[in-house]
């Protein structure tokens, strides 16, 4: 297998690296004269810089982000900074801004672009422009002077755009990025990496899941250790042990993973405050229940009521004693202290590895429990999505109900109703054919019965498939299945399941995903165990 070739010396990622550098989009082209921005009901001609930023917001009008107050405030704050003094005097209220005409222009333009031949849509290694981050803050346009290039010393160094130069050129074969720069919102490094289907990227993915598989061999020892630490004389160790229990049992993030520009009050396990949990000695017939309610990564609400072990409950009572609601629950714990402990327990172990391990194990166990070998392909795929949904729920991968959901369900229901009618008509046809054969008993009438029965069977299978689709659609309307499938689930589990039950892999992974997981498709047989 090309994924298991010779190992390079420690730290060396490649021997030869040559590329053409990042693609910089052309400078902004103004909107056509007949596409206008309106303020307080009146058309207003904007300066070029102000208009460009207005187009970013206009493009996102149908996205849920633009309904959030924090997004609106951040955008308006950054937009006003780029306005001329005259524009700042006029534009003082985002609610009076009308971007609808601009939005329609870009929707139409996008539809026209979809119709272009494939080769006209393709560009080079990456395309980076000014745009809005998830919280509405303005990410500035990246210029060649901001970019560090990485390649082989003996390769042809990429040419910067005319009139520009690179910030720096490096020859570092211990990293896998091709270009790097610092973004303006949080001053963090950003990278252009290799395509997901590349051998280097595939190896990195494979190694990530192999680390999670190694955890399988020591997780029982780790669990025994944190249970012992619940009784430690050191409060710091008790807090670490309870936090680790939550990270393991509930797949919580450690707490230091805010998105760029995210100013919302988001927390993870280590940064939980007293106000984020309530303790119930008894609730809904269960003992020692902890009720969680906080905003996690990407401002997704985490709400869960879970029965915990008695020592965990007692420790939480101790941690909350004499504290205000806004005080830290784990006041003596930092993510750094936790991660050092995890490294001590197993090389390469982080909170994210627990998440990957628990997600993958859950998928594997759920697939074994839910898959019926006698089901048809549609039935097996329903079982797969249900197993995947169990993981998404564990990892709190939620989404808003899509705006098109009601309409698409209506269309699907109309198809089901029409198919039911066809089945009923086919049943009548079979009945008639059988009566005709009973009267005549000739070979032609007998053949007609078989023909009608085959048609009925095919229609019944089609109806069953549509019903499965409707069930699947309804069950997944608020669950984001893609996040865990692409980031936390060892793809070899899915590949093995497909091979074992004769499911085409393209039913699980689209073309891009199959390229990303080529290593797993190549490696995993039907007997693979995570």
Q: Report pLDDT digits (tens) over 327-336.
A: 999 999 988 8
pLDDT band at 393 (very low <50, low <70, confident <90, very high): confident
Partners of 149 in the β-ladder: 169, 179
Kindly state the average pLDDT of the residues 138-165: 91
CATH node for 201-349: 3.90.15.10
Q: Are 193 and 201 in contact (CB under 8 A)?
A: yes
Within 8 A by CB and 6+ apart from 393, the residues are 479
**Topology, domain 359-523:** Topoisomerase I; Chain A, domain 4 (1.10.132)
Q: What is the DSSP string of 45-77?
A: PPPHHHHHHHHHHHHTTTSGGGGSHHHHHHHHH
19 contacts 125 by C-beta, under 8 angstroms = yes
Give the pairing type, strands 97-98 and 127-128: unpaired
Number of other residues whose CB lies within 10 A of the CB of residue 38: 15
For residues 135-157, give the mean pLDDT: 88
- Work out the pLDDT band at 356, boundaries 50, 70, 90: very high
Residue 196 and residue 513: Cα distance in Å, rounded?
9
438 torsion bin: left (phi>0), alpha (psi -120 to 50), beta (else): alpha
330-357 average pLDDT score:
90
- The pTM (predicted TM-score) of the whole model is 0.61
Whether residue 101 contacts residue 35, with contact meaning beta carbons closer than 8 Å, is answered with yes
Q: What is the CA radius of gyration of the chain?
A: 29
- For residue 502, give every residue at least 6 positions away whose Cβ sits within 8 Å of its Cβ, in sequence order, or none: 377
37-132 CATH:
1.10.10.41
Over the chain, what is the mean pLDDT?
86
Sign of CA dihedral 250, 296, 239, 488: positive
Hunting for tokens 């000695």 — which residue is that? 281
138-139 and 131-132 strand pairing: antiparallel
Query: 72, 66 in Cβ contact below 8 A?
Result: yes
The answer to whether the beta carbons of residues 100 and 35 sit under 8 Å apart is no
Banded pLDDT at 85 (limits 50, 70, 90): very high
Asked if residues 392 and 411 have their Cβ atoms less than 8 Å apart, the reply is no
**Span 171-200, mean pLDDT?**
82
Q: Which range among 21-30, 217-226, 253-262 has the greatest average pLDDT?
A: 217-226
**Residue for token pair 């990957």:** 356
Residue ranges per structural domain of the chain = 1-24+142-193, 37-132, 201-349, 359-523
- On the question of pLDDT at 292 being above 80, the answer is yes
Alpha-carbon span 171 to 165, nearest angstrom: 17
According to DSSP, the residues that pair with 291 across neighbouring strands are 278, 305
Residues with a catalytic annotation lie at 488
Q: Are 179 and 144 in contact (CB under 8 A)?
A: no
Task: List the single range of 120-124, 272-276, 323-327, 392-396 with lowest mean pLDDT.
Answer: 120-124
Q: Output DSSP code: residue 9.
A: S
Q: How far apart are CA 510 and CA 283, in angstroms?
A: 44
Tell me how far apart the alpha carbons of residues 46 and 53 are, in angstroms, rounded to a whole number: 10
What pLDDT does 26 receive? 80
Nearest to 27 by CA among 162, 149, 125: 162
% of residues, the chain, pLDDT over 70: 89
C-beta separation of 189 from 182 below 8 A: yes
The string of pLDDT tens digits covering residues 478-524 is: 677 667 787 889 999 999 999 999 999 999 999 988 988 988 998 88
Same fold, 1-24+142-193 and 201-349: no
Considering only CA atoms, which of 320, 302, 239 is closest in space to residue 265? 302
Q: Look up the CATH superfamily of 1-24+142-193.
A: DNA Topoisomerase I, domain 2 (2.170.11.10)
Please tell me whether residue 210 adopts helix, strand or coil conformation: helix
Confidence bin at 210 (pLDDT 50/70/90) = very high
- Residue 54 confidence (pLDDT) above 90: yes
Residue bearing the bigger pLDDT, 125 or 99:
99
Q: Cα dist. 174→15, 170, 178, 240 in Å?
A: 10, 11, 12, 33
């Amino acid at each position: 297998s090309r994924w298991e070739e010779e190992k390079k010396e420690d730290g060396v990622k490649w021997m030869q690296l040559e590329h053409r550098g990042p693609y910089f989009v052309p400078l902004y082209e103004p909107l056509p004269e007949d596409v206008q921005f309106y303020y307080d009901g009146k058309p207003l001609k904007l300066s070029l810089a102000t208009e460009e930023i207005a187009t970013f917001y206009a493009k996102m009008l149908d996205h849920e982000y633009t309904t959030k107050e924090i997004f609106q405030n951040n955008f308006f704050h950054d937009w006003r900074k780029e306005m001329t003094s005259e524009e700042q005097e006029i534009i003082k209220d985002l609610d009076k801004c009308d971007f609808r005409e601009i939005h329609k222009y870009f929707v139409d333009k996008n539809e026209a672009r979809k119709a272009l031949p494939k080769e006209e849509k393709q560009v080079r290694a990456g395309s980076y422009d000014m745009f809005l981050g998830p919280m509405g803050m303005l990410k500035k346009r990246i210029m060649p002077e901001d970019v560090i290039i990485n390649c082989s010393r003996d390769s042809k160094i990429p040419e910067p755009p005319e009139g520009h130069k690179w910030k720096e050129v490096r020859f570092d074969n211990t990293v896998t990025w091709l270009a790097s720069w610092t973004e303006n919102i949080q001053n963090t490094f950003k990278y252009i990496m290799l395509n997901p289907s590349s051998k280097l990227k595939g190896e990195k993915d494979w190694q990530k899941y192999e680390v999670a598989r190694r955890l399988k061999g020591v997780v029982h020892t780790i669990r025994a250790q944190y249970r012992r630490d619940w009784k430690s004389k050191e409060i710091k160790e008790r807090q670490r042990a309870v936090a680790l229990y939550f990270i393991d049992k509930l797949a919580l993030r450690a707490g230091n993973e805010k998105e760029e520009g995210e100013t919302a009050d988001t927390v993870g396990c280590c940064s939980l405050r007293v106000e984020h949990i309530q303790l119930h000695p008894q609730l809904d017939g269960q003992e020692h229940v902890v009720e969680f309610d906080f905003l996690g990564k990407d401002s997704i609400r985490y709400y869960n009521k879970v029965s915990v072990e008695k020592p965990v409950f007692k420790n939480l009572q101790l941690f909350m004693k004499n504290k205000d609601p806004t005080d830290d629950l784990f006041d003596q714990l930092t993510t750094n202290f936790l991660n050092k402990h995890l490294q001590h327990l197993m090389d390469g172990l982080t909170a994210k590895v627990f998440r990957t391990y628990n997600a993958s194990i859950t998928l594997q166990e759920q697939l074994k429990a839910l898959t019926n070998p006698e089901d048809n392909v549609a039935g097996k795929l329903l079982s797969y999505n249900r197993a995947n949904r169990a993981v998404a729920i564990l990892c709190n991968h939620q989404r808003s109900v899509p705006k098109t959901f009601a309409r698409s369900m209506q269309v699907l229901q109309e198809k089901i109703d029409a198919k039911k009618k066809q089945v009923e008509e086919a049943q009548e046809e079979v009945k008639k054919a059988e009566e005709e054969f009973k009267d005549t008993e000739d070979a032609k009438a007998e053949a007609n019965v078989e023909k009608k029965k085959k048609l009925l069977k095919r229609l019944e299978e089609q109806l069953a498939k549509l019903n499965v689709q409707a069930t699947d659609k309804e069950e997944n309307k608020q669950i984001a299945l893609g996040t865990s499938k692409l980031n936390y689930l060892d793809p070899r589990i899915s590949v093995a399941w497909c091979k074992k039950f004769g499911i085409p892999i393209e039913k699980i992974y689209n073309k891009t995903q199959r390229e990303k997981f080529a290593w797993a498709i190549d490696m995993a047989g039907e007997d693979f165990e995570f």
